[in-house]
């Protein structure tokens, strides 16, 4: 019985793929954009306009932008379950199988992730701009030491976008319209329960496509309003070749549980952003603010992401994907000031970014592997005009620690083992924090 029960639990606890922290979207897409809290839907600051709102490309002249960020995170969890503390030897043993070190804080060893951003803007006449770039949309993961089912929990998700965009200014600059085509490339891999015979999913890649539409209105010389709609990014299924498995040796091997090729459909959601720009003191003071709505529930809601074409193997069928993310409102504000006199070539910036985590606290196991729980970010930065054509920008984004706790029911194991088993629950507490150090150079022509 013990072996069958352990095998059933091992299969049932296979959760959704572990992806990156901070949801799946970076706070910002260049050092300058980062220093302003990620706001920019009404203000074309650099080639990050290709992601934020392509209509604001018309604010720019010819330029190239190069940026990179260093992105370490601190992610920890502790877990337990209701079988522990019952005093019943069989249930206590079962509880120790589910969580080897109950109540112990386990820290991820995932290495810092480098984040590049590159862009080029080319003017054609006074009103037309074309742009092309590469932006890191997401890049993180987890790597926990063995604890759950005596196994490590590992995940990797990387997402790069290659936008090609254009904008055109109308009505003597009162209105600008823009659009970009968003080609994307992503990598995803995860492993859970490998020590007890659950097959890992090695890193697979996928290509995706989407688009962004934008508009900018400037009713007053010191005021601009921007609106952008970003479509879903539709990806090809991630494909994994999965071998046969025999969790804890409970299934005769060979053949064990059959393997096969799994196809995981994992898209990115649509979003919409409204932004405002206010310029005061003859341009020495800039205020920007965005409100963004991200429809996470459309791609990471109930039962998502999902295996398609009937491709789920037996081990995956025991626990279907269901991250149960909700939609998210993100609020971004930023300020840029330029001091008079000798400091004319220095611009100081600060911002704040807040978005309530889309994760469901009661998806207690999924959140261990998928800790998208950071909410508040303070941003700081500066720009240095080295020459007439060259600017160096630096920034830091500080993600304040946030903690999420929840409890979820374990599956009903009675029908699996052929005799009554008390209903159990799994609980986890996860905390996450991090920061980025960013630097870049922009060259105008």
- pLDDT, one tens digit per residue, over 371-394 is 888 899 999 999 999 999 999 999
Which SS3 state, helix, strand or coil, does residue 305 take? coil
Structure tokens at 228: 């952008």
Whole-angstrom Cα distance, residue 307 to residue 262? 7
pLDDT of residue 419 exceeding 80, the answer is no
Query: Would you state the pLDDT for residue 6?
Result: 45
Calculate the alpha carbon distances from 422 to 4, 82, 329 in Å: 15, 10, 40
pLDDT of residue 416 exceeding 50, the answer is no
Q: Which residue has the higher pLDDT, 1 or 249?
A: 249
What does pLDDT average to over the chain?
Answer: 89
Whole-angstrom Cα distance, residue 430 to residue 107? 10
List domains and CATH numbers for the chain.
2-444 (2.40.160.60)
pLDDT of residue 19 exceeding 90, the answer is no
Confidence bin at 344 (pLDDT 50/70/90): confident
Query: Would you state the pLDDT for residue 413?
Result: 54
Question: What is the percent of the chain where pLDDT is above 70?
Answer: 90
Cβ distance 153 to 368 under 8 Å?
yes
pLDDT of residue 16 exceeding 70, the answer is no
pLDDT of residue 441 exceeding 60, the answer is yes
Q: Count CB neighbours of 414 within 10 A.
A: 12
Whole-angstrom Cα distance, residue 425 to residue 431? 20
Cβ distance 207 to 183 under 8 Å?
yes
**Which of 105-114, 183-192, 318-327, 391-400 has the least mean pLDDT?**
318-327
Range 155-184 average pLDDT: 95
Q: Please state whether 259 falls in left (phi above 0), alpha (psi between -120 and 50) or beta.
A: beta
Confidence bin at 2 (pLDDT 50/70/90): very low
Query: Would you state the pLDDT for residue 71?
Result: 81
pLDDT of residue 73 exceeding 60, the answer is yes
Range 15-39 average pLDDT: 75
Query: Would you state the pLDDT for residue 289?
Result: 98
End-to-end CA distance of the chain: 74
pLDDT of residue 44 exceeding 70, the answer is yes
pLDDT of residue 208 exceeding 60, the answer is yes
Query: Would you state the pLDDT for residue 9?
Result: 39
Range 94-98 average pLDDT: 87
pLDDT of residue 342 exceeding 70, the answer is no
**Closest by CA position to 136, among listed 66, 232, 75:** 66
Confidence bin at 319 (pLDDT 50/70/90): low
260-265 β-sheet, strand order: 238-242, 260-265, 306-307
Token pair 């862009």 is found at: 119
Query: Would you state the pLDDT for residue 253?
Result: 66
Query: Would you state the pLDDT for residue 183?
Result: 98
Q: Which residue has the higher pLDDT, 222 or 423?
A: 222
Range 125-132 average pLDDT: 96
**Closest by CA position to 156, among listed 331, 355, 21:** 21
């Amino acid at each position: 019985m013990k072996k069958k029960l352990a095998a059933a639990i091992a299969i049932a606890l296979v959760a959704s793929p572990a992806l990156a922290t901070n949801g799946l979207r970076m706070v910002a897409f260049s050092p300058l954009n980062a220093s302003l809290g990620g706001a920019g839907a009404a203000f074309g600051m650099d080639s990050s306009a290709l992601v934020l709102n392509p209509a604001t490309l018309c604010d720019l002249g010819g330029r190239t932008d190069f940026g990179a960020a260093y992105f370490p995170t601190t992610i920890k969890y502790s877990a337990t379950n209701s079988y522990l503390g019952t005093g019943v030897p069989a249930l206590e043993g079962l509880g120790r199988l589910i969580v080897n070190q109950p109540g112990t804080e386990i820290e991820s060893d995932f290495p810092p992730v480098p984040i590049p951003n590159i862009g080029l803007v080319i003017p054609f006449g006074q009103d037309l701009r074309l742009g092309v770039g590469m932006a890191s949309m997401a890049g993180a993961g987890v790597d926990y030491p063995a604890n759950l089912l005596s196994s490590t929990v590992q995940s990797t998700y990387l997402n790069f976008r290659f936008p090609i965009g254009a904008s055109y200014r109308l009505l003597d600059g009162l209105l600008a319209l823009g659009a970009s085509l968003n080609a994307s490339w992503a990598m995803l891999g995860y492993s859970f329960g490998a020590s007890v015979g659950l097959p890992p999913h090695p890193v697979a890649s996928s290509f995706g496509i989407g688009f962004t539409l934008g508009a900018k209105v400037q009713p007053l010389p010191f005021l601009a309003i921007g609106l952008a709609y970003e479509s879903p990014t539709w990806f090809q299924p991630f494909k994994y070749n999965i071998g046969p498995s025999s969790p804890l040796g409970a299934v005769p091997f060979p053949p064990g549980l059959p393997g096969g090729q799994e196809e995981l459909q994992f898209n990115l959601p649509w979003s919409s952003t409204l932004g405002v720009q206010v310029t005061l003191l003859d341009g020495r003071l800039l205020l920007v603010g965005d409100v963004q709505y991200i429809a996470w529930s459309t791609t990471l809601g109930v039962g998502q992401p999902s295996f398609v074409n009937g491709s789920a193997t037996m081990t995956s069928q025991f626990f279907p994907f269901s991250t149960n993310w909700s939609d998210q409102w993100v609020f971004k504000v930023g300020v840029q000031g330029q001091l008079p006199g000798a400091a004319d070539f220095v611009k100081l910036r600060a911002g704040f970014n807040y978005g309530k985590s889309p994760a469901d606290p009661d998806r207690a196991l999924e959140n261990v592997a998928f800790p998208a729980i950071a909410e508040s970010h303070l941003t700081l930065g500066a720009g240095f005009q080295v020459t007439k054509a060259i600017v160096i920008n630096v920034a830091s984004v500080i993600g304040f620690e946030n903690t999420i706790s929840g409890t979820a029911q374990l599956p009903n194991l009675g029908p699996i083992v052929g005799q009554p088993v008390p209903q159990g629950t799994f609980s986890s507490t996860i905390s996450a924090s991090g920061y980025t150090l960013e630097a870049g150079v922009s060259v105008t022509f």
